[in-house]
Structure 1
């Protein structure tokens, strides 16, 4: 008899475990992924600072839900005109909408967070 009771508890525990996993999966689907494109000029101090600051912000506010593509304008100058980049560093938030642009090294963290809607 004890085995049948334990078996029922085990099935119940397994069922609860699957339910929790399913609920967590749904929550993950609801969290939006952010896609950023950061235009920099080589290893200039402002460019390096912008990369570091953006990484810190993303890790703090949207950890695991972002992609950052860093584009060096010296390596890909054709993108300047295509993306209408007039100052460096420039951050473009591609996803989620709306598309947004920030210019600078992202040192004012509060402003960056508000502007990007994090």
Structure 2
């Protein structure tokens, strides 16, 4: 019997900061959605924040470049900058998958 259901019950809260509808922003969102569907099933929420519309929101998560992905929950908070095209790097960076040696 699996007593560790905590990880399965966790809803991953992900925040993607972009600046407009650029190719990098579109790619980052598409890559993120694909990784989440493949690895987190229905246990995630993606909030997209366009800094051209809400520039004041960059300060809260100390966003210096876009696109930037911020994992809010589960802790620790993690950030990944770029179009998220390297799946292994993204999954390891978010602690979804352990690093392979």
Smaller-chain TM-score bracket:
0.7 to 0.9
Whole-angstrom CA distance in 1 between matches of 2:89 and 2:69: 13
State the match for 2:83 in structure 1: 105
1:82: Cα distance to partner?
2.5
Query: Is 1:79 the counterpart of 2:57 in the alignment?
Result: yes
List aligned pairs for 1:43-54, cutoff 5 A.
43-54=21-32
The structure with the greater share of residues assigned to helix is 1
Query: Is 1:40 the counterpart of 2:40 in the alignment?
Result: no
Q: Which structure exhibits the higher relative contact order, with contacts defined as CA atoms closer than 8 Å and separated by 6 or more residues? A: 2
Query: Is 1:114 the counterpart of 2:89 in the alignment?
Result: no
Q: How many residues align?
A: 93
1:81: Cα distance to partner?
2.0
CA deviations on 1:77-100 (whole Å, 9 max, x unpaired) are 001123211000000000001000
State the match for 1:70 in structure 2: 48
TM-aligned CA distance change 1:86 to 1:30, over 3 Å: closer
Query: Which has the higher Rg, Structure 1 or Structure 2?
Result: 1
Query: Alignment RMSD, CA only?
Result: 1.6
- Structure 1 outlier segments of 4+, above 3 Å: none
- TM-score, structure 2 as length reference: 0.86
**Structure 1 runs not aligned, ≥5 long:** 1-22
**Structure 2 runs not aligned, ≥5 long:** 97-101
